[in-house]
Amino acid sequence: MAEDRHRDRRLAMVRRQIEGRGVRDPRVLAAMRSVPRHRFVSRTLVGDAYKDHPLPISAGQTISQPYIVALMAEAAAIEPEHRVLEVGTGSGYGAAVLAELGASVVTVERHRKLADAATKVLGNLGYANATVVCGDGSQGHPPGAPYDAVVVTAAASIIPSPLVDQLADGGRLVIPVGPPSFSQNLTLVTRAGDETTSKRFCPVRFVPLVEEP
């Protein structure tokens, strides 16, 4: 009964917040209908899990707004078997959406507590194709490169060049770019050979990407 209630809320979330704002990719919509977002928040916030905003998680971080998770996944154009790097695991919810799309996902989180919690929930939900690494992802994760897509869920003041270097030919990087504490722009960088093109497509507000010295 409780699961049914979450399912109804989740379907309404996708219909109103995500399809209603123009996300069209049927595979992304199906993934957003499948992943149980309420499993990625604390018990006290379960009732808010399908609302149209980010929520606090531990270590002073956030689980992103569902619409933004879907928009980033759509922009990354994930196909089954793609190798995908996510920087900023947070709760693990975004990684679950990428894994639900059939990608082989490596997700990097600098807070040990979050990395451990995300490993646990992703394992409990059966996402064997998502691996959490604890560390600094601002320079990417060279052991898994090249990546068909890199999705960064924290804001960078400039696009870190190692993330572009770790893209496969034809690969896509989706990243919020702009000053911390202000609004940033979701930016799509596409690599073709040694050339890259970049396009801003949505104003957003993310926690900062911490760049270790």
Residues that bind ligand SAM (CB under 6 A): 61-64, 87-88, 90-91, 93-94, 108-111, 114, 136-138, 153-154, 206-207, 209-210
State in angstroms the smallest separation of the CB of 141 from ligand SAM: 10
CB-based contact 135:108 (threshold 8 Å): yes
Taking alpha carbons only, the member of 82, 101, 201, 68 closest to residue 90 is 68
- Comparison of 71 and 87: residue with beta carbon closer to ligand SAM: 87
Q: Of these residues, 58, 64, 91, 104, which one is catalytic?
A: 64
- Number of C-alpha atoms within 13 angstroms, CB side, residue 102? 9
- Comparison of 25 and 136: residue with beta carbon closer to ligand SAM: 136
* Helix, strand or coil, per DSSP, at residue 17: helix
Neighbours of 73 (CB within 10 A): 27
- Comparison of 139 and 197: residue with beta carbon closer to ligand SAM: 139
Residue 57 CA to residue 94 CA, distance in Å, equals 13
State in angstroms the smallest separation of the CB of 1 from ligand SAM: 27
From start to end of 14-75, where are the E strands?
Answer: 55-56, 62-63
The residue count of the chain comes to: 213
State in angstroms the smallest separation of the CB of 97 from ligand SAM: 8
Active site residue 138: no
- Comparison of 70 and 87: residue with beta carbon closer to ligand SAM: 87
State in angstroms the smallest separation of the CB of 158 from ligand SAM: 14
Q: Which residues are catalytic?
A: 64
